[in-house]
Amino acid sequence: MANPLFDDINLQGADTVLQSSDYMLFYVHRVLLSLASPVFAALFDIGTPNHPHDQPTVSGLPIIPVEEKCDVLKTLLHWVYPVLKPPLLEIGHTADVLQAAIKYEIQAVVGPMTARLRTGADDSPARVYGLACRLGLEGLARDAARIYRANKKRRTGSNYRSDMASIPAGAYVRLSWYTANGAGSPPDSFKFVYRSVADGIVPSESSAEAGVDEILPSDAWVQDTVRIFMNNPSDLVICSSEADAFAAHKLVVSIMSPTLAKLIETQTDGILDLPESSFVIHKLLRCSYGLPLFTDADSQRPCFSFLIRVVDAARNYEMAHVEQQARAFLRNLIQTKPLRSYCTAIALGWRDDAVVAARAVLAAKINVLQTYVHELELIPAIALHNLVTYLNDVAWKVEKVTQRYAKYRTLRYDRYPDSVKAGQSVVRQPKASEHFGVAVLQREVARLGLGKSIEVGNLASEIQEMEEALRWATLEVALPAYKA
């Protein structure tokens, strides 16, 4: 049993049994839960079948399964019933109870749980911020962010806590941006849980989404296929969620998608209604008829969120060739839009492309915690934190190599002939490929000030050796794995 209070012996008059997700039973009274929660009231109505013999029972009472675990459901019921309330000791548990109270619309519990979390923000503001964003509580998130920014001792190096793992990476960046740039209490125009376009954060990497196309996707499809259907009339019409119609051939679509082939077999009027947008259907059909998935215009103003939708639809309809083209399209954008590409690769589970994009972010020297792109709303904060961890680990490795070469000569002594004397000028500049060798050159130039001599020209070998050491140091660092 769940606990003595909700045991069928101790709770007289119980008329329903709630079963937690871990199979614990709670004997409850419908009237009390119905008064406290309109959701429970509706659930009890739905849970009364026309044939009561078909419903599981215990002690003659109907069993209604719920999604909450035993400890959460127990605390929730204690706060619903007019009994002594248990202490709320752990804010993670409090957040779980609050989430259940919001789900079941139990306002009498939402208030106390929110107040408990707000109190917890004084000691753990970053943790409460993550919990507030997870629950969609903007007011609580603002309070926690303000406390976090005001108390430097409570801050973490990357402004991250494990409770933020599942919140959007955009909310993680907004906390970091506000911590570094905000002044006092955040203005009303600044939102943490969901972005406001008036928050003052300027999107980077030209991340504004592509505007509305000048022509509708269905009209573009007519232009794409005017010659195809001139000699081969269509025998299928595919309708999008916006009610746009696309002419097609049953044979072509069936060959390209086993899933759509089964749907076509069930149609008798030659019309196939799909839940996808017109943009997505247009792209799927272009690929099915041998046309490039994306056009030159798409490359000039890529819309990564649309790319994700196309791939999701392709997976749903078993169109592997579409995903292959989409992946090739993304790879062409990695070097010019590395952070957006990283987010997209993470969202689609393309691990290898995410690694390449992470290295491109490193090369571009992007401060990812102060840079906003729209695609951050599509991935969890832990994926961005993994990128931050990767960049910090690489920076540490590079610093170690640089310090070694900046302090000591690493080649044999005879590789440094004294052809440049103290007081002479050093005119040779490092080549573009030797940019990492600045530390070596600075080390040698410093010797001039000590009355010693150097040979700058013969330092190229050491600079190349340093670059090779830096390259290997970078490759040794792995991007932390992320699983959706």
Residue 60 within any structural domain of the chain? yes
Distance CA(374)–CA(367), nearest Å, equals 16
Determine the pLDDT at residue 252.
Answer: 95
Burial pattern 410-429, b for ≥16 Cβ within 10 A else e, equals: eeeeeebeeebeeeeeeeee
Determine the pLDDT at residue 420.
Answer: 40
Determine the pLDDT at residue 44.
Answer: 83
Looking at 134, 167, 200, the residue that finishes a domain is 167
Cβ neighbours, 10 Å, residue 476: 10
Residue 30 within any structural domain of the chain? yes
Looking at 167, 189, 223, the residue that finishes a domain is 167
Assign residue 423 a region (left: φ > 0; alpha: ψ between -120 and 50; beta: otherwise). Answer: left
For 88, 92, 103, 344, the CA distances from 114, given in Å and listed in that order, are: 12, 12, 14, 34
Q: Does pTM surpass 0.95?
A: no
Determine the pLDDT at residue 68.
Answer: 94
Residue 57: give the domain boundaries.
4-167
Determine the pLDDT at residue 11.
Answer: 62
pLDDT along the chain (484 residues), means of 10: 57 83 90 93 71 63 90 93 85 94 95 94 93 95 93 80 92 92 81 87 64 64 84 92 93 95 91 94 93 85 91 96 96 94 96 95 91 93 95 88 67 46 40 51 61 57 74 85 69
Residue 222 within any structural domain of the chain? no
For 29, 59, 425, 434, the CA distances from 20, given in Å and listed in that order, are: 16, 17, 80, 64
Residue 135 within any structural domain of the chain? yes
Looking at 167, 184, 213, the residue that finishes a domain is 167
Sheet holding 271-273, edge to edge: 245-248, 236-239, 271-273
For 173, 234, 252, the CA distances from 258, given in Å and listed in that order, are: 41, 19, 11
Q: Report CA Rg, the chain.
A: 31
Residue 180 within any structural domain of the chain? no
Instruction: Give a three-class secondary structure readout of the chain.
Output: CCCHHHCCCCCCCCCEEEECCCCCEEEECHHHHHHHCHHHHHHHHHCCCCCHHHCCEECCEEEEECCCCHHHHHHHHHHHCCCCCCCCCCHHHHHHHHHHHHHCCCHHHHHHHHHHHHHHCCCCHHHHHHHHHHHCCHHHHHHHHHHHHHCHHHCCCCCCCHHHCCCEHHHHHHHHHHHHHCCCCCCCCCCCCCCCCCCCCCECCCCCCCCCCCCCHHHHHHHHCHHHHHHCCCCEEEECCCCCEEEECHHHHHHHCHHHHHHHHCCCCCEEECCCCHHHHHHHHHHHCCCCCCCHHHHHCCCHHHHHHHHHHHHHCCCHHHHHHHHHHHHCCCCCCHHHHHHHHHHHCCHHHHHHHHHHHHHHCCCHHHCECHHHHHCEHHHHHHHHHHHHHHHHHHHHHHHHHHHCCCCCHHHCCCCECCCCCCCCCCCHHHHHHHHHHHHHHHHHHCCCCECCHHHHHHHHHHHHHHHHHHHHCCCCCCCC
**The domain that contains 33 carries what CATH number?**
3.30.710.10
Determine the pLDDT at residue 14.
Answer: 82
Determine the pLDDT at residue 32.
Answer: 92
Determine the pLDDT at residue 276.
Answer: 94
Residue 87 within any structural domain of the chain? yes
Could you give the number of structural domains in the chain? Answer: 2
First-last CA distance in the chain:
34
Determine the pLDDT at residue 412.
Answer: 46
Determine the pLDDT at residue 429.
Answer: 40
Residue 350 within any structural domain of the chain? no
Determine the pLDDT at residue 353.
Answer: 96
Distance CA(401)–CA(423), nearest Å, equals 30
Beta pairing class for 236-239 and 25-28? unpaired
Residue 275 within any structural domain of the chain? no
Determine the pLDDT at residue 260.
Answer: 96
